[in-house]
């Protein structure tokens, strides 16, 4: 186990270095840069822009900028935002909870609904339910989320007036009920895609398990179908889902770009989009490293959990 | 904006409204905003809350640091400057008790010595008294080498700042520079007693929880969502009348409009309601939707060093071939106002007597014929081996501008002029391509003024051509010795009437020379809930929230 972990740690560090180098390079290759927003400001002279570039250290060679950034990161200094001067960790901290709330809720919804739909689809294969679930999943996967979001706002807010048109809470209220009320529409919209993905995987995994020899044996023994399903099928079908859940972990914390924008949700996805728009390099790099660490962690946790629940797999 | 009788020029919201009416801009505001006496029913103590929706998030709260337009609303509310600019473009005292000029002795005859008298009844939000030391500290911080300050133009000329008393300060200018007065209306004063203790003012805690002298105090901020300011009941001026002022960040413009419709926000701030929603917005119940004049000026901008554009006849012909009315009504939903000059119409320096553009394709053809631009075998006009063919660029992904380009492309084609469309992403477009004049022609909208000062040296002086080593953004590479001389003179002249004559002449010359073909002056579609009183638009600032201290809810 410890050899496995050491190996993993080494792999992860190599991965993080590669990710950060690619990220840093691509970011800096992007035309414009953080000072482009002042290009049409009549009062900012060329001199002002050059001065700001020097103050931000942008006039140094790229590799020096990278090494400087990486060296500071190793010492625990994630840098400061170009926009407002706050430390990157503080900026991330300000957006993390909002994302956790939205993504946590929608992922929980998606897993619950997806698992149920997937299993039912597999056990009632080619039934009307199965067809509907399949078509529904195709629609959910192919229609862009922002469209669902806007249609949702149009119907449930403007026409029916049931839920608010976005925002995390009413300014001046902010009670638990108020949060929940605001959470309904975005979490539903967001979970649509995940229900679709999850149910498709679950259906396949269940079908896979159903065709295994031990299921046939159980049936031959006369075990009741319900018991077979609960005891033999679902347990086995859930194994690949653990990996999927592990892959899901980063997105729970890094947020949803589009949904957060449509529903004016102050989460990490929107932070990323905004920081990219302003070429706020330190924050974008911080988010990149943060999500890379989460990907590594998510996979690691999934591996460990699988090894724990599935005796056939040994970590070496 | 002053309460005491100590001031020579007492300026209130009432005055602002009256001036608006006199200024002829009143028609832009719904009558019910002006109909009642605005002062009659202001609450005795600040009550209620106004939520302003913004399409970009304000993040820079130290007003001296590099920032963008949406940050201005916070700065105007939390801080005060020495002066403010009113909707007519007239400078009024704010922290100063009077506006210095050569007549009252505040500015010496040669324009080099400035002396400002300050109010004695101002306190910082933490209770400490405001004094001339704060002004000195602010002006020095702006030019301090390690501080990431915003604009330094003008400030860089200030020398020998001397605090004469807590309410009086003087300095010397390296050269006479009249626009500085206007720059000071956007230079908010920061507290010395807090910032002097900071080792690195760029990352100071103050920048996330600012302390000012303004009508609103810092409340709290939920990053990515909103920030809340609370009434400063100790404010020295008239107001504030609302208890809380909230700036809410809504990144998607359709959602911004939707939340205005649904009532989640009370007032739509930058970038306002999109023109395609203008007609519908006007029909919304319990909402007041009006057009606000902005300083941004949209033009078909030419690179005069290109052989196609060197001849005035070509520029005149192209201008005559632009059907502005069709563009404004057909493409822009009637929102912008046609114009002949870069100077916004709300400016004190606007020249209203410029020759009016007329769309006339036949005349355009005749001008080109007379100038010897004859159609070749390919149907494109040419003269001395130069084909009348050029590219036009703008920010890609801007559907309205792209339609405008196609429209012009078709009209120009009828004239025997070939226009190729070649658009670029914003970051590429407004970088070197723009600053170093690498384009043939561009469709661009931007303000020409710094603050509300008419000095456009940066845009039109031959010294300001970036491609020729200049320091400004005269990217059309326009060079007219008379304009140069006028701009030099204007920057040294302090008397507003004398300056008006100078800049009127500049506008005349630029209208004649057509270094860019004026299209329109931008208006914003402003929306607010019925019941918000005291809202006065001010096209001489960059924000709708420049006077939030005067807002109040009808009781």
For the stretch A127-168, pLDDT in tens is 999 999 999 999 988 888 888 888 888 899 888 888 887 888
Q: Decide if B20 is inside a domain.
A: no
Q: Which residues of A touch B460 (CB under 8 A)?
A: none
Same domain, B389 and B535: no
Which chain A residue lies closest to B203 (C-alpha atoms)?
A85
Of A85-94, A225-234, A283-292, B417-426, which range is least confident? A225-234
Interface test with B, best of A156, A186, A264 (most B CBs within 10 A): A264
Helices (H) and strands (E) in chain B, counts: 17, 21
pLDDT confidence of residue A174: 77
Q: Which residues of B touch A164 (CB under 8 A)?
A: 262, 264
Q: Does residue A293 register a pLDDT over 60?
A: yes
Same domain, B497 and B511: yes
Same domain, B478 and B368: yes
Q: Which residues of A touch B247 (CB under 8 A)?
A: none
**Number of domains chain B is built from:** 3
d(CA B24, CA B325): 22
d(CA B211, CA B196): 13
Q: Quick check: B152 and A80 CB within 8 A? A: no
Q: Quick check: B226 and A171 CB within 8 A? A: yes
Count residue pairs from A and B with Cβ separation < 8 A: 156
Q: Quick check: A264 and B431 CB within 8 A? A: no
Report CA B146 to chain centroid distance, whole Å.
Answer: 27
The SS3 assignment for A69 reads: helix
Same domain, B337 and B425: yes
Q: Quick check: B249 and A266 CB within 8 A? A: yes
CB B381 within 8 A of CB B417: yes
Let me know if A187 is exposed, middle or buried by CB neighbors in 10 A (0-12, 13-18, 19+): buried
Same domain, B69 and B112: no
How large is the average pLDDT for residues A253-257?
A: 78
Same domain, B259 and B176: no
Same domain, B259 and B334: no
Same domain, B483 and B345: yes
Domain with B160, as residue range(s), is 80-192
Given A37, A86, A166, which is nearest B259 (Cβ)?
A166
Share of chain A above pLDDT 90, in %: 28
Q: Which H/E stretch holds residue A245?
A: helix A234-254
Q: Decide if B387 is inside a domain.
A: yes
What CATH number should be reported for the domain holding residue B351? 3.10.105.10
> Higher pLDDT residue, B58 or A315?
B58
The SS3 assignment for B173 reads: strand
Given A85, A267, A279, which is nearest B203 (Cβ)?
A85
Q: Decide if B16 is inside a domain.
A: no
Q: Does residue A177 register a pLDDT over 70?
A: yes
Same domain, B449 and B316: yes
Q: Decide if B23 is inside a domain.
A: no
pLDDT confidence of residue A315: 63
d(CA A147, CA A299): 31
Task: Give the closest-approach CA distance of A177 to chain B in angstroms.
Answer: 18
Please choose, from the candidates A87, A1, A244, the residue with its C-alpha nearest in 3D space to the C-alpha of residue B203.
A87
Q: Decide if B198 is inside a domain.
A: no
Q: Does residue A11 register a pLDDT over 90?
A: no
Q: Decide if B29 is inside a domain.
A: no
Label residue A316 by pLDDT band (50, 70, 90). low
Label residue A73 by pLDDT band (50, 70, 90). very high
Same domain, B280 and B135: no
Q: Decide if B433 is inside a domain.
A: yes
Q: Decide if B134 is inside a domain.
A: yes
Q: Quick check: A46 and B466 CB within 8 A? A: yes
* Residue B292 phi, psi dihedral angles, 5° rounding: -110, 130
Domain boundary (B192, B223, B250) is at B192
Which residues partner with B249 through β-bridges?
B54
Tokens of B385: 């081996």
Q: Quick check: A158 and B183 CB within 8 A? A: no
* Residues of chain B under the 50 pLDDT cut: 1-39
Interface test with B, best of A36, A47, A55, A85 (most B CBs within 10 A): A85
Number of Cα atoms under 13 Å in the Cβ half of residue A133: 28
Q: Quick check: A42 and B203 CB within 8 A? A: no
Task: Give the closest-approach CA distance of A43 to chain B in angstroms.
Answer: 5
Q: Quick check: A46 and B459 CB within 8 A? A: no
Q: Quick check: B208 and A46 CB within 8 A? A: no
Domain boundary (B142, B160, B192) is at B192
Strands B216-222 and B226-231 turn out to be antiparallel
pLDDT digits (tens, 9 = 90+) for A193-217: 889 988 999 999 999 888 888 888 8
Q: Quick check: B225 and A46 CB within 8 A? A: no
Task: Give the closest-approach CA distance of B331 to chain A in angstroms.
Answer: 24
Same domain, B258 and B370: no
Please choose, from the candidates B285, B401, B388, the residue with its C-alpha nearest in 3D space to the C-alpha of residue B336.
B401
Residue with token string 């967001």? A190
Tokens of A211: 């065709």
Nearest-10 crossing angle of helices A88-123, A176-210: 50
What CATH number should be reported for the domain holding residue B182? 3.90.76.10
pLDDT confidence of residue B235: 96
The SS3 assignment for B65 reads: strand
Tokens of B330: 């057909």
Strands B113-117 and B337-338 turn out to be unpaired
pLDDT digits (tens, 9 = 90+) for A221-243: 888 888 888 888 888 888 888 88
Same domain, B336 and B475: yes
d(CA B453, CA B435): 22
């Amino acid at each position: 186990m410890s050899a496995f972990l050491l190996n993993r740690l080494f792999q992860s560090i190599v991965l993080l270095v590669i990710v950060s180098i690619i990220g840093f390079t691509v970011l800096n290759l992007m035309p414009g840069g953080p000072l482009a927003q002042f290009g049409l400001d009549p009062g900012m002279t060329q001199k002002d822009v050059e001065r700001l570039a020097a103050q931000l250290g942008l006039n140094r060679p790229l590799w020096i900028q990278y090494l400087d950034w990486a060296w500071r990161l190793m010492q625990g200094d994630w840098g400061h935002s170009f926009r407002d001067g706050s430390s990157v960790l503080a900026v991330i901290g300000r957006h993390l909870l909002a994302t956790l709330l939205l993504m946590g809720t929608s992922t929980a919804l998606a897993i619950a609904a997806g698992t149920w739909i997937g299993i039912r689809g597999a056990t009632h294969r080619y039934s009307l339910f199965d067809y509907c679930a399949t078509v529904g999943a195709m629609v959910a996967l192919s229609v862009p989320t922002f469209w669902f979001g806007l249609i949702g706002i149009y119907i449930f807010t403007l026409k029916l007036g049931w839920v608010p048109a976005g925002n995390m809470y009413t300014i001046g209220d902010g009670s638990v009920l108020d949060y929940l009320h605001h959470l309904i529409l975005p979490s539903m919209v967001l979970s649509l895609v995940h229900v679709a993905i999850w149910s498709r995987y679950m259906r396949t995994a269940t079908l896979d398990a159903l065709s295994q020899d031990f299921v046939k044996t159980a049936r031959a023994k006369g075990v009741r179908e319900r018991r077979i399903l609960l005891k033999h099928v679902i347990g086995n079908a859930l194994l690949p889902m653990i990996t999927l859940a592990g892959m899901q972990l980063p997105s729970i914390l890094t947020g949803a770009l589009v949904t957060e924008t449509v529903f004016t949700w102050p989460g990490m996805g929107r932070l990323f989009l905004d920081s990219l728009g302003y070429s706020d390099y330190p924050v974008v790099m911080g988010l990149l490293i943060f999500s890379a660490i989460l990907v590594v962690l998510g996979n690691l946790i999934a591996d460990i959990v699988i090894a724990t629940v599935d005796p056939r797999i040994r970590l070496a | 904006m002053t309460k005491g009788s100590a001031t020579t020029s007492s300026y209130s919201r009432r005055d602002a409204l009256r001036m608006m009416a006199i200024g002829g801009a009143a028609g832009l505001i719904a009558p019910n905003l002006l109909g009642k006496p605005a002062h009659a029913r202001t609450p005795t103590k600040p009550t209620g809350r106004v939520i302003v929706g913004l399409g970009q998030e304000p993040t820079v709260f130290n007003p001296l640091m590099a920032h963008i337009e949406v940050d201005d609303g916070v700065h105007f509310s939390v801080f005060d400057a020495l002066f403010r600019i009113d909707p007519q473009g007239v400078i009024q005292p704010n922290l100063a008790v009077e506006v210095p000029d050569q007549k009252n002795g505040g500015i010496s005859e040669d324009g080099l010595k400035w002396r400002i008298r300050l109010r004695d009844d101002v306190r910082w939000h933490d209770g400490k008294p405001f004094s001339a030391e704060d002004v000195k500290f602010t002006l020095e911080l702006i030019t301090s080498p390690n501080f990431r300050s915003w604009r330094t133009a003008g400030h860089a000329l200030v020398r020998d700042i001397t605090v004469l008393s807590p309410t009086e300060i003087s300095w010397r200018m390296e050269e006479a520079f009249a626009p500085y007065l206007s720059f000071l209306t956007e230079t908010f004063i920061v507290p010395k007693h807090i910032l002097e203790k900071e080792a690195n003012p760029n990352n100071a805690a103050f920048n996330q929880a600012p302390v000012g002298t303004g009508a609103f105090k810092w409340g709290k901020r939920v990053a990515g969502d909103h920030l809340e300011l609370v009434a400063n009941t100790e404010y020295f001026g008239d107001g504030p009348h609302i208890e809380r002022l909230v700036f809410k960040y809504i990144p998607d413009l359709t959602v911004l409009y939707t939340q205005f419709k649904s009532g989640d926000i009370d007032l739509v701030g930058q970038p306002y309601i999109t023109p395609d929603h203008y007609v519908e917005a006007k029909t919304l119940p319990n909402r007041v939707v009006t057009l606000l004049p902005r300083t941004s000026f949209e033009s078909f901008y030419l690179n005069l060093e290109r052989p196609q554009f060197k001849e005035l006849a070509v520029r005149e012909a192209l201008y005559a071939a632009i059907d502005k009315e069709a563009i404004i009504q057909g493409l822009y939903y009637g929102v912008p106002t046609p114009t002949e000059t870069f100077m916004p119409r709300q400016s004190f320096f606007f020249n209203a007597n410029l020759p009016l553009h007329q769309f006339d394709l036949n005349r355009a053809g005749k001008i080109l014929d007379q100038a010897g631009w004859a159609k070749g075998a390919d149907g494109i006009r040419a003269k001395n081996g130069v084909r009348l063919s050029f590219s036009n660029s703008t920010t890609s992904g801007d559907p309205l501008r792209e339609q405008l380009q196609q429209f012009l492309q078709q009209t120009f084609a009828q004239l025997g002029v070939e226009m190729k469309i070649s658009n670029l992403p914003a970051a590429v477009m407004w970088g070197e391509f723009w600053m170093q004049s690498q384009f043939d022609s561009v469709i661009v909208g931007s303000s020409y003024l710094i603050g509300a000062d008419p000095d456009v040296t940066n845009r039109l002086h031959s010294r300001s051509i970036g491609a020729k080593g200049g320091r400004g953004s005269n990217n059309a590479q326009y060079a007219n010795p008379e304009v140069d001389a006028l701009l030099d003179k204007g920057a040294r002249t302090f008397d507003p009437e004398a300056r008006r004559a100078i800049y009127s002449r500049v506008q005349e010359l630029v209208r004649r020379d057509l270094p860019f073909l004026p299209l329109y002056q931008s208006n914003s579609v402003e929306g607010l809930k019925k019941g918000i009183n005291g809202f006065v638009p001010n096209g001489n600032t960059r924000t709708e929230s420049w006077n939030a201290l005067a807002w109040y809810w009808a009781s």
